[in-house]
């Protein structure tokens, strides 16, 4: 139905804008889109007019039938209508008989494999939602087309529910909230896909960094920090230049030596392991790093903090014996459980990303038998823990299979957040060994794992999951103190000092604005607790506390308030935001 709606969209466009060139128009999750090359730009306001034309076509009840054209006739058809993009697509489709779907009495025909419904009346409730720029074939060297997005549901009620959910999602959009809450920004002069953490966002990041470092230290990790650029030989050895070069930046030549911005932290971690001989008694050897990496993403694929070109991973490389493999994997999943609970994620899914049995083996490094062992090891751990998981053939990294964790937000939207990858290739490539109990050299297994994944992508999900109402323990400002007038400034300053001395993140707002305006500003910044101080509070040596969502806590002593907040921080209680 949605695929057919995309054809109706193209049909309507040609009725309204006859000189438009057509790109492609597939169905996607919950909707469809079509790419167009307009002679004159269209605006968002034009969508209503296009939608109206679509509804007329749907109401007419036009048939949608599949026909087959010879290649020659197809070329003639698109040459007559000057549909250059369709002619380009024809060149890539094999065979002499080409599938078209015709709407009505030859009113509109489009090159397509289908499937489609048989009559436009079978299309339910439709809505065009937005426009966007999209490079033809996703290639930034080609022309930017206009992509029109829409959705269709069988009933009006289903459509209205979907649109309402989308409105709620938009309120949680991490780019919108990131700007409102002054958490991060992307400045064109600095570079696309290179986010800047603003003071409030950086406070949160540092809290999460320290939390993760402490969690890992307690689990026996040691931490390193490796340079942003590494010599070419490192990536030749690791295989990245063979398997991953398209996602790497161009080389840098310095004094006749070639360097690359690192796309991964693992090659340097391998070299750190090699610095001293290791005994089996020293394994598992757990090496953590908050390492910044750089990967080339096409500009059309960049998206806020979710898809960036420079990001910091909560990385770790765990070197272990075959006998230790299962326990190390389980310990890693235990840490994941603790971490997700503490940040308020309770709904997440597991994916087992495997090699493809049909694609060329050249896509993957290493012995197929080792691949099978590694895939079985990951599968066993998931099964033994009673976890539901989806197997994804073809999604493995080039050096080994992995477990990907998909965190699911309140609207069911999924994002890949954490990963655990089992690697038997890098130990071989870097000649990494340990001495076993019989004095023989053996190669360890390496588990690459990133519990947070990248701070940037994780942060985008965190913002949307909580709608900006973060748990108290890592929100940038925990308390805002607002005196009613200048007369209470001195008392408010004393309260401020007590909270500051208690190691709470507190702000004193004594700006020359009305009390209500200052309260609105604090609510806009989603500060969990607002303290209002007036004459009554001074007389009773108390504070008036307002919790988020305007819940009045009433008067209380400062120490009581401090104790309450300390307990909320200790338990890492999560606030439920229903926006």
pLDDT tens digits along 234-290: 999 988 888 888 889 999 999 999 999 999 999 999 999 999 999 999 999 999 999
Query: Among 11, 21, 205, 402, which one carries the catalytic annotation?
Result: 402
Tokens 């999602």, residue?
Answer: 169
Q: Calculate the alpha carbon distances from 36 to 47, 326, 521 in Å.
A: 13, 52, 43
Query: Among 147, 172, 266, 309, which one carries the catalytic annotation?
Result: 266
CATH dotted code for 479-571:
3.40.50.800
How far apart (Å, rounded) are the C-alpha atoms in residues 310 and 298? 13
Q: Quick one: 458 exposed, middle or buried, by C-beta within 10 A (0-12, 13-18, 19+)?
A: buried
Q: Where do the domains of the chain lie?
A: 2-171, 184-466, 479-571
User: Does 112 participate in catalysis according to the annotation?
Assistant: no
- Report the C-alpha dihedral over residues 379, 384, 387, 392, rounded to 10 degrees: 10
Query: Among 3, 116, 317, 449, which one carries the catalytic annotation?
Result: 317
Query: Among 313, 421, 478, 488, which one carries the catalytic annotation?
Result: 313
CB-based contact 556:533 (threshold 8 Å): no
Query: Among 11, 86, 262, 295, which one carries the catalytic annotation?
Result: 295
Tokens 């096409």, residue?
Answer: 298
User: Does 448 participate in catalysis according to the annotation?
Assistant: yes
Q: Which residues pair with 184 in a beta bridge?
A: 197
Name the region of 402 (left: φ>0; alpha: ψ -120 to 50; beta: rest).
beta
User: For the residues of 232-292, what is the DSSP string, one character each?
Assistant: HHHHHHHTHHHHSGGGSPPPEEETTEEEEE-S-SHHHHHHHHTTS--BGGGPSEEEEEEEE
Closest C-alpha among 519, 374, 518 to residue 448: 374
Query: Among 35, 315, 404, 415, which one carries the catalytic annotation?
Result: 315
Give the model's pLDDT for residue 579. Answer: 46
Closest C-alpha among 150, 165, 176, 162 to residue 411: 165
Give the model's pLDDT for residue 406. Answer: 87
CB-based contact 356:318 (threshold 8 Å): no
User: Does 465 participate in catalysis according to the annotation?
Assistant: no
Query: Among 448, 457, 518, 546, which one carries the catalytic annotation?
Result: 448
**Residue ranges in the chain whose pLDDT is less than 50:** 578-579
User: Does 315 participate in catalysis according to the annotation?
Assistant: yes
CB-based contact 22:40 (threshold 8 Å): no
Class of CATH domain 184-466: alpha beta
CB-based contact 260:228 (threshold 8 Å): no
Class of CATH domain 2-171: alpha beta
């Amino acid at each position: 139905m949605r695929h057919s709606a995309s054809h109706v969209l193209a049909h309507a466009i040609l009725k309204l804008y006859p000189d438009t060139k057509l790109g492609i128009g597939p169905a996607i999750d919950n909707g469809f889109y079509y790419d167009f090359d307009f002679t004159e730009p269209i605006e968002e306001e034009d969508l209503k007019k296009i939608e109206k034309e679509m509804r007329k076509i749907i109401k007419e009840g036009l048939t949608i039938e599949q026909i087959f054209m010879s290649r020659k006739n197809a070329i003639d058809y698109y040459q007559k209508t000057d549909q250059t993009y369709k002619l380009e697509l024809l060149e890539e489709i094999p065979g002499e008989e080409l599938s078209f779907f015709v709407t009505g009495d030859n009113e509109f025909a489009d090159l397509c494999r289908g499937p489609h419904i048989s009559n436009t009346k079978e299309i339910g409730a439709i809505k065009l939602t937005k426009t966007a720029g999209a490079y033809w074939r996703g290639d930034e060297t080609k022309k930017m087309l206009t992509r029109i997005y829409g959705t269709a549901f069988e009933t009006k009620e289903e459509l209205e529910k979907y649109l309402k959910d989308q409105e709620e999602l938009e309120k949680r959009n991490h780019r919108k909230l990131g700007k409102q809450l002054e958490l991060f920004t992307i400045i064109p002069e600095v570079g696309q896909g290179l986010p800047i953490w603003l003071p409030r966002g950086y406070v949160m990041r540092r809290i999460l960094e320290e939390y993760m470092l402490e969690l890992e230290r307690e689990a026996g990790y040691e931490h390193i920090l490796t340079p942003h650029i590494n010599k070419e030989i490192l990536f030749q050895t690791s295989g990245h230049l063979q398997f991953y070069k398209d996602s790497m930046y161009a080389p840098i030549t310095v004094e006749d030596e070639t360097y690359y911005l690192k796309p991964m932290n693992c090659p340097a971690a391998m070299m750190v392991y090699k610095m001293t001989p290791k005994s089996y008694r020293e394994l598992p050897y757990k090496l953590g790093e908050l390492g910044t990496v750089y990967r080339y993403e096409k500009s059309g694929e960049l998206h806020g903090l979710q898809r960036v070109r420079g990001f910091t991973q909560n990385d770790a490389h765990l070197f272990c014996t075959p006998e230790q493999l299962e326990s190390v994997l389980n310990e890693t999943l235990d840490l994941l459980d603790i971490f997700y609970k503490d940040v308020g994620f309770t709904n997440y899914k597991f994916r087992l990303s495997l090699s493809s049995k049909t694609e060329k083996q050249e896509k993957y490094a290493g012995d197929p038998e080792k691949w099978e062992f590694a895939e079985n090891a990951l599968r066993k751990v998931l099964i033994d823990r009673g976890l539901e998981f989806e197997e994804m053939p073809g999604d493995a990294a080039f050096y080994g299979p992995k477990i990907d964790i998909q965190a699911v937000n309140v609207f069911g939207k999924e994002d890949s957040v954490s990963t655990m990858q089992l690697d038997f290739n890098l130990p071989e490539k870097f000649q990494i060994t340990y001495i076993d109990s019989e004095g023989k050299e053996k190669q360890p297994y390496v588990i690459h794992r990133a519990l947070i994944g990248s701070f940037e992508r994780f942060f985008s999900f965190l913002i949307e999951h909580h709608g900006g109402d973060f748990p108290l323990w890592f929100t940038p400002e925990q308390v805002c103190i607002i005196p009613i007038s200048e007369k209470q400034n001195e008392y408010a300053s004393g309260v401020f000092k007590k909270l500051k001395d208690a190691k709470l993140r507190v702000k004193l707002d004594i700006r020359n604005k009305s009390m209500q305006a200052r309260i609105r500003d604090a609510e806009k910044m989603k500060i969990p607790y607002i303290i209002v101080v007036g004459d009554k509070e001074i007389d009773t040596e108390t504070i008036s506390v307002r919790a988020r969502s305007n819940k009045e806590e009433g008067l209380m002593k400062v120490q009581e308030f401090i104790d309450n907040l300390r307990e909320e921080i200790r338990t890492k209680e999560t606030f439920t935001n229903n926006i």
